[in-house]
A and B are shown apart, each in its own frame.
Chain A
Amino acid sequence: NAGVIQTPRHKVTGKGQEATLWCEPISGHSAVFWYRQTIVQGLEFLTYFRNQAPIDDSGMPKERFSAQMPNQSHSTLKIQSTQPQDSAVYLCASSLGAGGGAEQFFGPGTRLTVL
C-alpha cells in the first residue's frame, strides 16, 4: 500500500500561470478530499468527492479553482491565473467511506509557490 500519492511535490509558477496538482488516492477508498495549508490559516477544507462525484466544494475559492475526479484512481486540482496568495501546501486525503467517522489518510502534499 503506497498510501496517497501526490505529484508534483513542489511547484513554482509565475503570477498568472496555471497550476495543476495531482492526487492518487489509496486503492479502494471511495472518498477523496483536498485541503490547503498555510501558516496563517492552518489547514482548510477545499472540496470532497465520493465515488468520483463532487459532493461539496464549499471551501474552494469560486474563481480560478476547480477540481475533478475523472476516474477512481486520480483527482486533480487546477488553479488558473495563479496569484501569490495561492502559495500554500495542497494536501489530498482519502478514506474508505465518508461520514460517520471515517479516518482520513493524507498524502505528502504539493508545495505551490507563486512568484
Chain B
Amino acid sequence: GQQVQQSPSSLVLQEGENAELQCNFSSTATQLQWFYQSPGGSLVSLLSNPSGTKHTGRLTSTTVTKERRSSLHISSSQTTDSGTYLCAIDRGTNAYKVIFGKGTHLHVLP
C-alpha cells in the first residue's frame, strides 16, 4: 500500500537556522499537504503542493511528482516553529484517503 516516509524523524536547531524536511512516498499522488501540529494541538495546513514550488512566509515547499518526493524548507527558524511537521498525500485512485507520514519533530532552541 501507499507509504509516506519522512526524514529526519527529529531535528534540533538554534533559532535563526534553516530547516529542510523531506517527504518520500511510494506511488503517485494527486494531492500533497504539509501540516503543522503543535504539542498537544490540532493540525494546521501549511501548504498544499502536489507539484512544483510554493512559498508562504518563511516556508517553501518543492514537490517533484515523478520522483515521489517533497521537501519543506523553513527559513530563519523561530522557537514558535517547534512542533511536528506532517506530510500527507492522497492515495491516487481513492483520492480521498489521505495517508500521513509519522512526522518530523522540530525543536528550535532560543
Give the B-binding residues of A (Cβ under 8 A).
Answer: 31, 33, 42-43, 45, 48, 50, 55-56, 91, 95, 98-109
Interface centre among A45, A95, A103, A104 (most CB of B within 10 A): A104
Q: Are B50 and A56 interface neighbours, CB within 8 A? A: no
A49 to B107, CA, bound (A): 36
Q: A101, B95: Cβ atoms under 8 Å?
A: yes
- CB closest residue in chain A, given B86: A43
- Docked-complex contact B98 and A101, CB < 8 angstroms: no
Closest to B100 in A: A43
Total interface residues in chain B, CB < 8 Å: 24
Q: How far is the CA of A42 from the CA of B44 in the complex (A)?
A: 16
- List, in ascending order, chain B residues with CB within 8 A of A43's CB: 86, 88, 100
Interface residues of B in 88-110 (CB under 8 A from A): 88, 90, 94-103
Instruction: Collect the chain A residues with CB atoms within 8 Å of residue B96's CB.
Output: 31, 33, 48, 50, 55-56, 95, 98-99, 102
Please give the distance in Å from B27's CB to the nearest CB on chain A. 15
Q: Does B31 lie at the interface of the complex (its beta carbon under 8 Å from any beta carbon of A)? A: yes
Apart from A42-B100, A99-B90, A104-B45, 7 more pairs, CB < 8 Å: A48-B97, A55-B96, A91-B42, A95-B96, A100-B31, A101-B50, A102-B31
